[in-house]
């Protein structure tokens, strides 16, 4: 996409320049292995609720990218099972039951994280 955008800029001529408000060339990773006590606590909390987490790499960026690149581990999480992804769409929504269940999930996670040694 970057190459295509640069091509358009060159084709436009007239001194057209390309600048970025936000541009990152790398994104550090956060371990979700047994060496990350926060991940283990989060996974245990949701597993205790009968929920299995399937880790994925999010194709978009978030504010967590900045934290990770500063060496601060960060994990994104959204308890929205059985929900079609409509991220940032005009019709993005959550079912009320899913939203309310999410509160219970976050409470369980926060209790586990808050009691780590």
Give backbone dihedrals phi and psi of 113, rounded to 5 degrees, phi first: -65, -40
Q: Region 69-87: what's the mean pLDDT?
A: 85
Q: Region 11-37: what's the mean pLDDT?
A: 88
pLDDT at position 65 is 85
Every domain of the chain and the residues it spans: 30-114
CATH for the 30-114 domain, from 1.10.150.900, 1.20.1260.120, 3.60.20.10, 1.10.645.10: 1.10.150.900
Q: Which residue has the higher pLDDT, 57 or 12?
A: 12
Q: Which residue has the higher pLDDT, 113 or 94?
A: 113
Binned at pLDDT 50, 70 and 90, residue 1 comes out as confident
């Amino acid at each position: 996409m970057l190459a295509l955008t640069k091509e358009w800029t060159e084709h436009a001529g007239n001194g057209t320049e390309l600048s970025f408000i936000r541009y990152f060339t790398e994104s550090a990773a956060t371990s979700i292995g047994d060496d990350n006590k926060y991940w283990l606590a989060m996974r245990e909390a949701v597993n205790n609720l009968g929920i299995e987490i399937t880790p994925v790499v999010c194709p978009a960026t978030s504010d967590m990218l900045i934290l990770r690149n500063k060496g601060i581990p960060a994990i994104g999480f959204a308890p929205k099972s059985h929900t079609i992804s409509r991220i940032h769409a005009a019709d993005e929504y959550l079912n009320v039951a899913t939203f309310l269940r999410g509160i219970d999930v976050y409470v369980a996670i926060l209790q586990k994280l808050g009691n780590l040694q």
